[in-house]
Amino acid sequence: MREISRDMFAPAARNASPDGGAVVRPSLSYWQDAWRRLCKNRVASLGLLILAAYVIMAIAIPMLSDTDYRSIDADSIDSPPTAAHWFGTDTLGRDMWARTWAGARVSLSIGILAATINAIIGVIIGGVSGYFGGKLDMAVMRLLDVVSGIPYLIVAILVMVVLGEGITPLIIAMITIGWVGSARLVRGQALQLKNQEYVLAAKKLGASHARIIICHLIPNTMGLILTNVTMAVPYSIFTEAFLSYIGLGVQPPGVSWGLLARYGSQSFRFAPWQLFIPSFFIGTTMLSLYLLGDGLRDALDPKLRN
């Protein structure tokens, strides 16, 4: 048997080996790592590129182009795509190319802003409600029931009465009632996840409630949150179209993708491009969001992090 001497229990010196304490590669934060993995994902990068292109076109084209989206060309009404009118014209002879990009401004800002803000509010409220549970959860969820029971037309009209018409009041009206869906979804996930072992471990290590919700529950529901955001974008675009159509929101000659699709669906039997063009842009925006969302999901999933 080996002799156990006292000096075997002496504390080890720091940096006993030449590079024992050195960091092999710079440590990445959660978000840096997510960005790196997102860029590696080719399909997701493509989605991001298309979205970025649409946003830039929506900003640049109405500023640079000399055709106004409101001006009427009486000689070419309902004209199919030609050299003069790349996307054809509508029933009043207005240039569809100019209208598409003018509409992109409204639809993209409403779609992305409303969906993102809704998700943020929903995640906070749903996460807190599900994590703490009990009476707080009961109260918050009944509040959600009440909010989702209020007809959104009433909310939209009242918001417009108070704040006037325009895009900002429209977004505010959508947020007032729209956060409910993501709050419910995150709350359900929090109920399920808060009993997982890693939450218990974090609790026993003395993590605060806020830390557990932000660093443990939310990253693990990120996939669903992102899916929900990407689904909420077209929902906001079409809600805007419906509200504008019945006279709340964007007023003629103002235009949005949803409104273009709505007008187009009335004349698609003789002028199908009027429906196909806005539908194409809504569709490709959705596809890019879908691919980007899927890539982000992988990039943000803590379980896949290495």
Partner 1 sequence: MLRYILKRLVISFFTVMVLVTVVFFLVRAMPGEPFLSDKLTPEIRENMVRYYGFDKPLYVQYFTYIKNLLRGDLGVSMHYHGIPVTQIIRDSFPYSASLGIRALIVAIFAGITLGVASALNRGRFLDYCCIIVAVLGVSLPDFVTGYLLQYVFSIKLKLLPIAMWRGFKYTVLPTFALSFYTTALLARITRASMLEVTNQDYIKVAKAKGLGVFQIVVRHELRNAILPVITILGPVTAAILTGTFIIESIYAIPGMGKFYVSGIQNLDYSQVLGLTLFYGIFIVIANFVVDILYGFVDPRIRADRRDAS
**Which residue among 256, 258, 259, 299 contacts partner 1 (CB under 8 A)?**
258
d(C-alpha 158, C-alpha 164), whole Å: 9
Residue with smaller CB distance to partner 1, 102 or 261:
261
Residue 227 is a binding residue for partner 1 (CB under 8 A): yes
Q: Which two tokens stand for residue 176?
A: 């007032």
Residue 158 is a binding residue for partner 1 (CB under 8 A): yes
Residue with smaller CB distance to partner 1, 100 or 230:
230
Residue with smaller CB distance to partner 1, 67 or 176:
176
Q: Which two tokens stand for residue 202?
A: 């974090």
Nearest to 226 by CA among 289, 179, 272, 269: 289
Q: How many residues interact with partner 1 (rule CB under 8 A)?
A: 63
Residue 137 near residue 130, CB atoms below 8 Å: yes
Residue 157 is a binding residue for partner 1 (CB under 8 A): yes
Burial class (CB in 10 A: 0-12, 13-18, 19+), 162: exposed
DSSP-assigned letters across all residues of 2-48 = ----GGGGSPPPTT-STTTTS-SSPPPPHHHHHHHHHHH-HHHHHHH
Residue 291 C-beta: closest distance to partner 1, Å: 8
Residue position matching structure tokens 């080890």? 12
Torsion from C-alpha of 81, 87, 88, 89, nearest 10 degrees: 180
**Which residue among 52, 53, 60, 145 contacts partner 1 (CB under 8 A)?**
145
**Which residue among 220, 236, 244, 256 contacts partner 1 (CB under 8 A)?**
220
Residues found near partner 1 in the complex (CB under 8 A): 133-135, 137-138, 141-142, 144-146, 148-151, 153-155, 157-158, 161, 180-181, 184-185, 187-189, 191-192, 194-195, 220, 223-224, 226-228, 230-231, 234-235, 238, 241-242, 246, 258, 261-262, 265, 268-269, 275, 279, 282-283, 285-287, 290, 297, 301, 303-304
